[in-house]
Protein backbone atom coordinates (compact mmCIF):
# COMPACT_ATOMS: atom_id res chain seq x y z
CA UNK A 1 0.00 0.00 0.00
CA UNK A 2 1.43 3.43 -0.91
CA UNK A 3 1.32 6.49 1.35
CA UNK A 4 -1.11 8.14 -1.12
CA UNK A 5 -3.71 5.53 -0.19
CA UNK A 6 -4.01 7.21 3.23
CA UNK A 7 -5.45 10.36 1.62
CA UNK A 8 -9.27 10.86 1.52
CA UNK A 9 -9.47 9.80 -2.15
CA UNK A 10 -6.99 6.96 -1.60
CA UNK A 11 -6.27 4.89 -4.70
CA UNK A 12 -8.36 7.25 -6.87
CA UNK A 13 -6.47 10.44 -5.92
CA UNK A 14 -4.33 10.58 -9.07
CA UNK A 15 -7.30 9.89 -11.35
CA UNK A 16 -9.59 12.58 -9.89
CA UNK A 17 -7.35 15.42 -8.73
CA UNK A 18 -5.96 16.53 -12.10
CA UNK A 19 -9.08 16.42 -14.24
CA UNK A 20 -8.43 18.79 -17.13
CA UNK A 21 -10.96 17.33 -19.55
CA UNK A 22 -14.44 16.84 -18.08
CA UNK A 23 -16.73 19.29 -16.39
CA UNK A 24 -19.80 16.98 -16.36
CA UNK A 25 -19.50 13.78 -18.39
CA UNK A 26 -23.05 12.69 -17.47
CA UNK A 27 -24.50 14.94 -20.20
CA UNK A 28 -22.84 12.62 -22.74
CA UNK A 29 -24.74 9.56 -21.46
CA UNK A 30 -27.76 8.15 -23.30
CA UNK A 31 -29.86 8.61 -20.16
CA UNK A 32 -29.38 12.41 -20.11
CA UNK A 33 -32.46 14.35 -21.23
CA UNK A 34 -31.58 17.70 -22.83
CA UNK A 35 -34.04 20.58 -22.67
CA UNK A 36 -33.33 21.45 -26.31
CA UNK A 37 -33.35 18.77 -29.03
CA UNK A 38 -31.57 20.17 -32.12
CA UNK A 39 -33.00 19.39 -35.56
CA UNK A 40 -36.10 17.62 -34.25
CA UNK A 41 -38.59 20.50 -34.10
CA UNK A 42 -40.79 19.11 -36.96
CA UNK A 43 -41.08 15.72 -35.22
CA UNK A 44 -41.71 17.31 -31.80
CA UNK A 45 -44.45 19.52 -33.30
CA UNK A 46 -46.00 16.51 -35.06
CA UNK A 47 -46.19 14.50 -31.82
CA UNK A 48 -47.49 17.53 -29.87
CA UNK A 49 -50.21 18.26 -32.44
CA UNK A 50 -51.49 14.68 -32.22
CA UNK A 51 -51.47 14.64 -28.39
CA UNK A 52 -52.92 18.16 -28.00
CA UNK A 53 -56.59 16.96 -27.70
CA UNK A 54 -55.60 15.33 -24.37
CA UNK A 55 -55.43 18.85 -22.87
CA UNK A 56 -59.16 19.17 -23.60
CA UNK A 57 -59.80 15.73 -22.08
CA UNK A 58 -60.27 14.19 -25.53
CA UNK A 59 -58.73 10.95 -26.82
CA UNK A 60 -55.61 11.53 -28.98
CA UNK A 61 -54.94 9.30 -31.97
CA UNK A 62 -52.56 6.37 -31.56
CA UNK A 63 -49.10 6.92 -33.06
CA UNK A 64 -46.47 4.63 -34.55
CA UNK A 65 -42.98 6.16 -34.61
CA UNK A 66 -40.22 4.67 -36.75
CA UNK A 67 -36.53 5.42 -37.08
CA UNK A 68 -33.09 3.88 -36.70
CA UNK A 69 -31.27 3.74 -33.36
CA UNK A 70 -30.00 7.12 -32.16
CA UNK A 71 -32.37 9.32 -34.20
CA UNK A 72 -34.02 10.93 -31.16
CA UNK A 73 -37.33 9.04 -31.08
CA UNK A 74 -37.42 8.27 -27.36
CA UNK A 75 -35.97 11.65 -26.33
CA UNK A 76 -38.62 13.54 -28.34
CA UNK A 77 -41.50 11.43 -26.99
CA UNK A 78 -40.26 11.87 -23.40
CA UNK A 79 -39.92 15.63 -23.93
CA UNK A 80 -43.42 16.04 -25.39
CA UNK A 81 -44.81 13.72 -22.70
CA UNK A 82 -43.34 15.79 -19.86
CA UNK A 83 -44.69 18.98 -21.45
CA UNK A 84 -48.12 17.36 -21.80
CA UNK A 85 -48.20 16.41 -18.09
CA UNK A 86 -47.01 19.90 -17.09
CA UNK A 87 -49.62 21.73 -19.19
CA UNK A 88 -52.36 19.26 -18.19
CA UNK A 89 -51.65 19.90 -14.50
CA UNK A 90 -51.73 23.65 -15.15
CA UNK A 91 -55.19 23.61 -16.75
CA UNK A 92 -56.61 20.95 -14.43
CA UNK A 93 -56.76 18.09 -16.94
CA UNK A 94 -55.47 14.70 -15.80
CA UNK A 95 -52.87 13.93 -18.49
CA UNK A 96 -50.43 11.17 -17.59
CA UNK A 97 -47.71 9.42 -19.58
CA UNK A 98 -46.43 5.91 -18.84
CA UNK A 99 -43.22 4.87 -20.60
CA UNK A 100 -42.49 1.13 -20.93
CA UNK A 101 -39.35 -0.46 -22.38
CA UNK A 102 -40.64 -3.55 -24.19
CA UNK A 103 -37.18 -5.06 -24.43
CA UNK A 104 -37.58 -5.73 -20.70
CA UNK A 105 -41.36 -5.72 -20.25
CA UNK A 106 -42.13 -8.14 -23.06
CA UNK A 107 -45.29 -10.09 -22.14
CA UNK A 108 -48.94 -9.08 -21.96
CA UNK A 109 -49.11 -9.73 -18.21
CA UNK A 110 -46.02 -7.59 -17.47
CA UNK A 111 -47.22 -4.75 -19.70
CA UNK A 112 -50.67 -4.57 -18.07
CA UNK A 113 -49.27 -4.97 -14.55
CA UNK A 114 -46.61 -2.30 -15.11
CA UNK A 115 -49.16 0.18 -16.46
CA UNK A 116 -51.29 -0.43 -13.36
CA UNK A 117 -48.26 -0.03 -11.09
CA UNK A 118 -47.36 3.24 -12.81
CA UNK A 119 -50.91 4.50 -12.24
CA UNK A 120 -50.56 3.74 -8.53
CA UNK A 121 -47.30 5.70 -8.43
CA UNK A 122 -48.73 8.63 -10.40
CA UNK A 123 -52.02 8.87 -8.59
CA UNK A 124 -51.45 10.43 -5.16
CA UNK A 125 -55.16 11.22 -4.71
CA UNK A 126 -57.10 8.58 -2.76
CA UNK A 127 -60.27 7.33 -4.44
CA UNK A 128 -63.50 6.16 -2.79
CA UNK A 129 -62.93 2.46 -3.54
CA UNK A 130 -60.04 0.29 -2.44
CA UNK A 131 -57.90 -0.81 -5.38
CA UNK A 132 -56.10 -4.14 -5.46
CA UNK A 133 -52.38 -4.14 -6.00
CA UNK A 134 -51.59 -6.24 -9.08
CA UNK A 135 -48.65 -8.60 -8.45
CA UNK A 136 -46.05 -8.89 -11.23
CA UNK A 137 -46.96 -12.60 -11.57
CA UNK A 138 -49.68 -14.96 -10.44
CA UNK A 139 -53.03 -13.57 -11.63
CA UNK A 140 -54.97 -14.69 -14.71
CA UNK A 141 -54.40 -12.13 -17.48
CA UNK A 142 -58.10 -11.28 -17.76
CA UNK A 143 -58.15 -10.40 -14.04
CA UNK A 144 -55.15 -8.07 -14.55
CA UNK A 145 -56.95 -6.44 -17.50
CA UNK A 146 -60.12 -5.94 -15.46
CA UNK A 147 -58.24 -4.42 -12.52
CA UNK A 148 -56.34 -2.10 -14.88
CA UNK A 149 -59.66 -0.87 -16.30
CA UNK A 150 -60.92 -0.26 -12.75
CA UNK A 151 -57.82 1.77 -11.93
CA UNK A 152 -58.16 3.80 -15.13
CA UNK A 153 -61.81 4.57 -14.31
CA UNK A 154 -60.91 5.52 -10.74
CA UNK A 155 -58.17 7.96 -11.80
CA UNK A 156 -59.94 9.32 -14.92
CA UNK A 157 -58.30 11.70 -17.38
CA UNK A 158 -56.13 10.73 -20.36
CA UNK A 159 -53.37 8.16 -20.15
CA UNK A 160 -50.72 8.01 -22.90
CA UNK A 161 -48.98 4.62 -22.95
CA UNK A 162 -45.58 4.70 -24.66
CA UNK A 163 -44.37 1.26 -25.79
CA UNK A 164 -40.69 1.74 -26.59
CA UNK A 165 -39.18 -1.01 -28.79
CA UNK A 166 -42.71 -2.25 -29.44
CA UNK A 167 -41.36 -4.72 -32.03
CA UNK A 168 -39.70 -6.71 -29.21
CA UNK A 169 -43.10 -7.15 -27.51
CA UNK A 170 -44.77 -8.29 -30.73
CA UNK A 171 -42.01 -10.74 -31.65
CA UNK A 172 -41.95 -12.24 -28.14
CA UNK A 173 -45.65 -12.31 -27.28
CA UNK A 174 -47.64 -11.70 -30.47
CA UNK A 175 -50.14 -8.88 -30.96
CA UNK A 176 -52.74 -9.82 -28.32
CA UNK A 177 -51.45 -7.11 -25.95
CA UNK A 178 -51.86 -4.46 -28.63
CA UNK A 179 -55.27 -5.82 -29.60
CA UNK A 180 -56.51 -5.39 -26.03
CA UNK A 181 -54.91 -1.98 -25.47
CA UNK A 182 -56.16 -0.51 -28.75
CA UNK A 183 -59.71 -1.55 -27.80
CA UNK A 184 -59.65 -0.61 -24.13
CA UNK A 185 -61.37 2.75 -24.75
CA UNK A 186 -64.55 0.87 -25.70
CA UNK A 187 -64.65 -0.53 -22.13
CA UNK A 188 -63.96 2.82 -20.44
CA UNK A 189 -66.34 5.65 -19.58
CA UNK A 190 -64.46 8.08 -17.33
CA UNK A 191 -60.96 7.63 -18.76
CA UNK A 192 -59.24 7.66 -22.13
CA UNK A 193 -56.14 5.84 -23.43
CA UNK A 194 -53.78 6.65 -26.29
CA UNK A 195 -50.85 4.48 -27.40
CA UNK A 196 -47.50 5.51 -28.86
CA UNK A 197 -45.41 2.69 -30.32
CA UNK A 198 -41.69 3.30 -30.99
CA UNK A 199 -39.72 0.93 -33.20
CA UNK A 200 -36.35 0.65 -34.97
CA UNK A 201 -37.81 -2.07 -37.24
CA UNK A 202 -39.96 -0.86 -40.12
CA UNK A 203 -41.01 -4.44 -40.88
CA UNK A 204 -42.41 -5.41 -37.49
CA UNK A 205 -45.92 -4.48 -38.67
CA UNK A 206 -45.78 -7.59 -40.86
CA UNK A 207 -46.40 -9.54 -37.62
CA UNK A 208 -49.58 -7.58 -36.78
CA UNK A 209 -53.19 -8.53 -37.42
CA UNK A 210 -54.62 -5.98 -39.92
CA UNK A 211 -57.23 -4.88 -37.34
CA UNK A 212 -54.52 -4.16 -34.77
CA UNK A 213 -52.39 -2.33 -37.35
CA UNK A 214 -55.25 -0.07 -38.45
CA UNK A 215 -56.02 0.89 -34.83
CA UNK A 216 -52.40 1.33 -33.76
CA UNK A 217 -51.12 3.28 -36.76
CA UNK A 218 -53.77 6.01 -36.89
CA UNK A 219 -50.79 8.37 -37.22
CA UNK A 220 -47.25 7.50 -38.33
CA UNK A 221 -44.10 9.57 -37.86
CA UNK A 222 -40.69 8.70 -39.34
CA UNK A 223 -37.48 10.02 -37.78
CA UNK A 224 -34.76 10.37 -40.46
CA UNK A 225 -31.10 9.74 -39.57
CA UNK A 226 -28.99 12.76 -38.60
CA UNK A 227 -26.41 13.97 -41.10
CA UNK A 228 -22.87 15.02 -40.14
CA UNK A 229 -23.57 18.79 -39.71
CA UNK A 230 -26.61 18.01 -37.52
CA UNK A 231 -24.54 15.63 -35.39
CA UNK A 232 -21.93 18.39 -35.04
CA UNK A 233 -24.61 20.69 -33.60
CA UNK A 234 -25.79 18.01 -31.14
CA UNK A 235 -22.23 17.28 -29.99
CA UNK A 236 -21.35 20.98 -29.69
CA UNK A 237 -24.42 21.53 -27.48
CA UNK A 238 -23.43 18.68 -25.15
CA UNK A 239 -19.70 19.44 -25.27
CA UNK A 240 -20.28 22.94 -23.90
CA UNK A 241 -21.76 21.39 -20.74
CA UNK A 242 -19.53 18.30 -20.59
CA UNK A 243 -15.99 19.57 -21.18
CA UNK A 244 -13.67 22.09 -19.58
CA UNK A 245 -13.18 25.05 -21.91
CA UNK A 246 -10.30 24.46 -24.31
CA UNK A 247 -10.04 20.74 -23.55
CA UNK A 248 -11.25 19.65 -27.01
CA UNK A 249 -9.09 19.99 -30.11
CA UNK A 250 -10.96 21.76 -32.92
CA UNK A 251 -11.30 18.69 -35.14
CA UNK A 252 -12.65 16.30 -32.49
CA UNK A 253 -16.37 17.10 -32.81
CA UNK A 254 -16.44 17.07 -36.67
CA UNK A 255 -14.55 13.74 -36.68
CA UNK A 256 -16.93 12.12 -34.16
CA UNK A 257 -19.87 13.40 -36.24
CA UNK A 258 -18.35 12.09 -39.48
CA UNK A 259 -17.80 8.60 -38.07
CA UNK A 260 -21.34 8.47 -36.62
CA UNK A 261 -22.90 9.79 -39.85
CA UNK A 262 -21.37 6.81 -41.65
CA UNK A 263 -23.18 4.56 -39.11
CA UNK A 264 -26.70 5.61 -40.18
CA UNK A 265 -26.59 9.00 -38.44
CA UNK A 266 -26.65 7.58 -34.92
CA UNK A 267 -26.47 10.36 -32.28
CA UNK A 268 -25.83 7.80 -29.51
CA UNK A 269 -22.82 6.53 -31.41
CA UNK A 270 -21.55 10.11 -31.81
CA UNK A 271 -21.98 10.84 -28.08
CA UNK A 272 -20.23 7.57 -27.14
CA UNK A 273 -17.31 8.45 -29.39
CA UNK A 274 -16.99 11.92 -27.88
CA UNK A 275 -17.24 10.64 -24.30
CA UNK A 276 -14.75 7.77 -24.78
CA UNK A 277 -12.34 10.13 -26.60
CA UNK A 278 -12.42 12.41 -23.56
CA UNK A 279 -11.98 9.48 -21.17
CA UNK A 280 -8.93 8.19 -23.08
CA UNK A 281 -7.36 11.66 -23.04
CA UNK A 282 -8.20 11.97 -19.33
CA UNK A 283 -6.47 8.67 -18.51
CA UNK A 284 -3.34 9.87 -20.32
CA UNK A 285 -3.50 13.05 -18.22
CA UNK A 286 -3.53 14.98 -21.51
CA UNK A 287 -4.53 18.63 -21.63
CA UNK A 288 -6.76 18.12 -24.68
CA UNK A 289 -8.77 15.38 -26.34
CA UNK A 290 -7.38 15.15 -29.87
CA UNK A 291 -8.34 13.49 -33.15
CA UNK A 292 -6.04 10.57 -32.34
CA UNK A 293 -8.18 9.91 -29.24
CA UNK A 294 -11.30 9.77 -31.46
CA UNK A 295 -9.68 7.09 -33.62
CA UNK A 296 -8.61 5.18 -30.51
CA UNK A 297 -12.17 5.49 -29.15
CA UNK A 298 -13.60 4.13 -32.41
CA UNK A 299 -11.39 1.03 -32.17
CA UNK A 300 -12.26 0.55 -28.50
CA UNK A 301 -16.04 0.87 -28.99
CA UNK A 302 -16.03 -1.48 -31.98
CA UNK A 303 -13.96 -4.05 -30.05
CA UNK A 304 -16.20 -3.81 -26.96
CA UNK A 305 -19.42 -4.22 -28.96
CA UNK A 306 -17.91 -7.12 -30.93
CA UNK A 307 -16.98 -8.95 -27.70
CA UNK A 308 -20.49 -8.53 -26.30
CA UNK A 309 -22.05 -9.68 -29.58
CA UNK A 310 -19.89 -12.82 -29.87
CA UNK A 311 -20.24 -13.83 -26.21
CA UNK A 312 -24.05 -13.98 -26.53
CA UNK A 313 -24.13 -16.04 -29.75
CA UNK A 314 -25.82 -19.49 -29.67
CA UNK A 315 -23.46 -22.49 -29.53
CA UNK A 316 -23.96 -23.48 -33.18
CA UNK A 317 -23.08 -19.95 -34.35
CA UNK A 318 -19.95 -20.04 -32.18
CA UNK A 319 -18.91 -23.37 -33.72
CA UNK A 320 -19.39 -21.96 -37.25
CA UNK A 321 -17.36 -18.90 -36.27
CA UNK A 322 -14.61 -21.05 -34.75
CA UNK A 323 -14.47 -23.09 -37.98
CA UNK A 324 -13.73 -19.85 -39.83
CA UNK A 325 -10.95 -19.01 -37.37
CA UNK A 326 -9.38 -22.41 -38.07
CA UNK A 327 -9.47 -21.69 -41.80
CA UNK A 328 -7.69 -18.38 -41.23
CA UNK A 329 -5.16 -20.23 -39.07
CA UNK A 330 -4.54 -22.45 -42.13
CA UNK A 331 -3.56 -19.26 -44.04
CA UNK A 332 -6.90 -19.04 -45.84
CA UNK A 333 -7.63 -15.32 -45.60
CA UNK A 334 -10.68 -15.70 -47.86
CA UNK A 335 -12.74 -18.87 -47.63
CA UNK A 336 -16.00 -20.25 -49.02
CA UNK A 337 -19.15 -21.53 -47.31
CA UNK A 338 -18.27 -25.04 -48.56
CA UNK A 339 -14.88 -24.91 -46.83
CA UNK A 340 -16.49 -23.62 -43.62
CA UNK A 341 -18.94 -26.53 -43.73
CA UNK A 342 -16.14 -29.11 -44.04
CA UNK A 343 -14.25 -27.71 -41.04
CA UNK A 344 -17.49 -27.23 -39.10
CA UNK A 345 -18.34 -30.94 -39.41
CA UNK A 346 -14.99 -31.86 -37.88
CA UNK A 347 -15.37 -29.33 -35.02
CA UNK A 348 -18.99 -30.32 -34.30
CA UNK A 349 -17.87 -33.95 -33.96
CA UNK A 350 -15.21 -33.01 -31.40
CA UNK A 351 -17.49 -30.73 -29.32
CA UNK A 352 -20.26 -33.34 -29.54
CA UNK A 353 -23.11 -31.33 -31.04
CA UNK A 354 -25.51 -32.38 -33.80
CA UNK A 355 -24.17 -31.10 -37.16
CA UNK A 356 -26.33 -28.69 -39.15
CA UNK A 357 -27.10 -28.91 -42.84
CA UNK A 358 -25.08 -26.82 -45.31
CA UNK A 359 -28.12 -24.58 -45.87
CA UNK A 360 -28.50 -23.87 -42.14
CA UNK A 361 -24.75 -23.15 -41.86
CA UNK A 362 -25.12 -20.64 -44.70
CA UNK A 363 -27.97 -18.96 -42.77
CA UNK A 364 -25.74 -18.65 -39.68
CA UNK A 365 -22.95 -17.19 -41.84
CA UNK A 366 -25.41 -14.55 -43.09
CA UNK A 367 -26.33 -13.70 -39.49
CA UNK A 368 -22.65 -13.30 -38.55
CA UNK A 369 -22.23 -11.01 -41.54
CA UNK A 370 -25.27 -8.96 -40.50
CA UNK A 371 -23.79 -8.57 -36.99
CA UNK A 372 -20.55 -7.28 -38.51
CA UNK A 373 -18.40 -10.16 -37.19
CA UNK A 374 -17.33 -11.19 -40.72
CA UNK A 375 -17.57 -9.82 -44.26
CA UNK A 376 -19.12 -11.80 -47.10
CA UNK A 377 -19.66 -11.51 -50.83
CA UNK A 378 -21.28 -13.75 -53.41
CA UNK A 379 -19.02 -14.57 -56.39
CA UNK A 380 -19.85 -16.30 -59.65
CA UNK A 381 -17.97 -19.50 -60.56
CA UNK A 382 -19.29 -19.54 -64.13
CA UNK A 383 -20.89 -22.85 -65.02
CA UNK A 384 -20.22 -24.08 -61.48
CA UNK A 385 -22.74 -21.60 -60.10
CA UNK A 386 -22.25 -19.05 -57.34
CA UNK A 387 -20.63 -19.35 -53.94
CA UNK A 388 -20.28 -17.17 -50.85
CA UNK A 389 -16.80 -15.97 -49.90
CA UNK A 390 -15.99 -14.53 -46.48
CA UNK A 391 -13.14 -13.01 -44.49
CA UNK A 392 -12.38 -11.26 -41.21
CA UNK A 393 -11.83 -7.52 -40.96
CA UNK A 394 -11.26 -7.29 -37.22
CA UNK A 395 -8.67 -8.66 -34.82
CA UNK A 396 -9.30 -12.41 -34.70
CA UNK A 397 -7.28 -12.79 -31.49
CA UNK A 398 -10.06 -11.06 -29.54
CA UNK A 399 -12.66 -13.31 -31.18
CA UNK A 400 -10.65 -16.40 -30.18
CA UNK A 401 -10.38 -15.15 -26.58
CA UNK A 402 -14.15 -14.70 -26.32
CA UNK A 403 -14.95 -18.09 -27.88
CA UNK A 404 -12.44 -19.83 -25.58
CA UNK A 405 -14.56 -18.77 -22.58
CA UNK A 406 -17.29 -21.15 -23.77
CA UNK A 407 -16.55 -24.54 -22.08
CA UNK A 408 -17.39 -26.42 -25.28
CA UNK A 409 -14.80 -24.42 -27.22
CA UNK A 410 -12.00 -24.45 -24.65
CA UNK A 411 -8.42 -24.73 -25.92
CA UNK A 412 -7.99 -28.16 -24.30
CA UNK A 413 -11.01 -29.58 -26.08
CA UNK A 414 -10.24 -28.10 -29.48
CA UNK A 415 -6.62 -29.22 -29.33
CA UNK A 416 -8.04 -32.46 -30.75
CA UNK A 417 -8.65 -30.76 -34.12
CA UNK A 418 -5.99 -32.04 -36.55
CA UNK A 419 -5.07 -28.94 -38.56
CA UNK A 420 -2.58 -30.79 -40.75
CA UNK A 421 -5.21 -33.31 -41.80
CA UNK A 422 -7.67 -30.49 -42.54
CA UNK A 423 -5.05 -28.63 -44.57
CA UNK A 424 -4.36 -31.75 -46.61
CA UNK A 425 -8.08 -32.16 -47.36
CA UNK A 426 -8.12 -28.75 -49.12
CA UNK A 427 -5.25 -29.50 -51.51
Annotated binding-site residue? 226: yes
Annotated binding-site residue? 396: no
Annotated binding-site residue? 179: no
Distance CA 65, CA 202 (A): 9
What radius of gyration, in Å, describes the C-alpha atoms of the chain? 27
The DSSP annotation for 384-420 comes to G-EEEEEE--S-HHHHHHHHHTSGGG-HHHHTT--HH
Helix pair 358-370, 337-351: axis angle to 10 deg? 100
Annotated binding-site residue? 74: yes
Secondary structure of residue 353 in the 3-state scheme: coil
Q: Which residues contact 359 (CB under 8 A, 6 or more apart)?
A: none
The DSSP annotation for 182-197 comes to HTGGGG-SSEEEEEEE
Q: Which residues contact 275 (CB under 8 A, 6 or more apart)?
A: 25, 28, 29, 242
**Cα–Cα distances in angstroms (integers) from residue 101 to residues 112, 163, 198, in the given order:** 13, 6, 10
Q: Which residues contact 374 (CB under 8 A, 6 or more apart)?
A: 321, 324, 365, 368, 390, 391, 392, 393
CA 82 to chain CA centroid, Å, is 23
Sign for the CA dihedral angle at 389, 394, 400, 406 comes to: negative
Annotated binding-site residue? 303: no
E strand spans, 165-277: 191-199, 219-223
Q: How many residues does the chain have?
A: 427
Residue 202: other Cβ atoms inside 10 A: 12
Best CA proximity match to 361, nearest among 379, 350, 372, 376:
376
Annotated binding site for ATP: 71-75, 226, 238
Amino acid sequence: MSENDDQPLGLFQKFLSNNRIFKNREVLRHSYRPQILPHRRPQIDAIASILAPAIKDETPSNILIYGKTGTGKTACVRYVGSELEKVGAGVGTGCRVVHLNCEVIDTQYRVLAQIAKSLEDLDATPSDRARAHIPMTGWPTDQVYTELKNQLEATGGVLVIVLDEIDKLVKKSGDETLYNLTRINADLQGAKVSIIGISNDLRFTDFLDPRVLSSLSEEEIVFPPYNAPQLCDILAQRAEMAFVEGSLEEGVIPLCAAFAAQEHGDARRALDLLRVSGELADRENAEQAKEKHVRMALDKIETDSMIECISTLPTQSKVVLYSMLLLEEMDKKIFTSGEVTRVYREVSRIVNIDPLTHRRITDLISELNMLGVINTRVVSKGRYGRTKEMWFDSNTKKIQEVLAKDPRLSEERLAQVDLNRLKASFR
